[in-house]
Chain A
């Protein structure tokens, strides 16, 4: 996998995550509304940054799909929290992959910062953490 391919994979993950956060925001209780809104904004900003990095490398940023299959049926606050936590844990894997393949220092730094951010968000949603976020694969729900 090249840096460009790993950036595209991360962007595709962010598209899916933004879609998922739409569901999360619609179902979490008021106490988590700020977290859902912050997460949504964070992922949107990251989507723009990844698209910029891809264009710098003469790539065409992958587009979002019209809809996604959601791995957890979301119909209340606990299921919405579980989905948000799982989205962050799965994103962490994509950013760890990006560090694995890139030899570009700026991309490594971007992926590092994002891996840290996404793991903190996962901890806030789940109240727990993996020992090695992005390397430990999240279990199937």
Chain B
């Protein structure tokens, strides 16, 4: 037996074991659904993060009307990020069934969002927004590097760039 077929035989054992355990549980072994495409996972996560950022700005603008004009512009840009991410979903091949786009899945789950808590002190709010932007830059950077689709990578890079600019612009906001 070649080394390669040994490896394959070895790999089969745990799978068979899993099937046996499920049967012992009294459950029919069900075929596992196809895992989501990695880019769909990235899109869904990023859309969720951009929604959370938008909600944070809306709450901050409501709590601090003196800062409102600026913050609404920031919130609008995060909304545009969501549209840009959704524009990267590839068209379905003709004749295929219409699955729920992965990017839309979390929307229904968070349909009744609790408004995020924002600090009462204006300086603390600005710090909170800057921390959120800096964390988002890190996440979108990771997403850009992991994306399979090059257009999705470009959109993630551009969003990260906007968020880094937001962080810098907030430095002089009071």
Residues of A within 8 A of B (CB): 92, 95-96, 99-103, 105, 108-109, 111-112, 115-116, 118-120, 122-124, 127-135
A95 to B161, CA, bound (A): 11
- CB-based contact A129/B158 at 8 Å: no
- CB-based contact B169/A127 at 8 Å: yes
Interface residue from B81, B153, B162 paired with A119 (Cβ < 8 Å):
B162
Closest to A95 in B: B157
Also in contact, A101 and B150, with CB within 8 A (given A112-B141, A116-B164, A135-B155): yes
- CB-based contact A112/B165 at 8 Å: no
5 CB-based A-B contacts, threshold 8 Å: A115-B158, A120-B164, A129-B77, A131-B162, A135-B155
Most buried by A among B81, B84, B154: B154
- CB-based contact B77/A131 at 8 Å: yes
Contact string against A for B residues 74-98, beta-carbon threshold 8 Å, 1 for contact and 0 otherwise: 0011001100100000000000000
- CB-based contact B84/A135 at 8 Å: yes
Q: Is the interface of A mostly helix, strand, loop or mixed?
A: helix
Determine if B160 is an interface residue (Cβ-Cβ < 8 Å). Answer: yes
- CB-based contact B168/A132 at 8 Å: no
Most buried by B among A101, A123, A130: A123
- CB-based contact B168/A100 at 8 Å: no
- CB-based contact A100/B165 at 8 Å: no
- CB-based contact A134/B158 at 8 Å: yes
Interface residue from B77, B137, B150 paired with A102 (Cβ < 8 Å):
B150
Determine if B60 is an interface residue (Cβ-Cβ < 8 Å). Answer: no
Determine if B145 is an interface residue (Cβ-Cβ < 8 Å). Answer: yes
Q: Which of chain B's residues have a CB closer than 8 A to the CB of A111?
A: 157
Closest to A96 in B: B154
- CB-based contact A130/B162 at 8 Å: yes
- CB-based contact A123/B145 at 8 Å: no
Interface residue from A96, A105, A127, A131 paired with B157 (Cβ < 8 Å):
A96
Determine if B174 is an interface residue (Cβ-Cβ < 8 Å). Answer: no
Q: Which of chain A's residues have a CB closer than 8 A to the CB of B64?
A: none
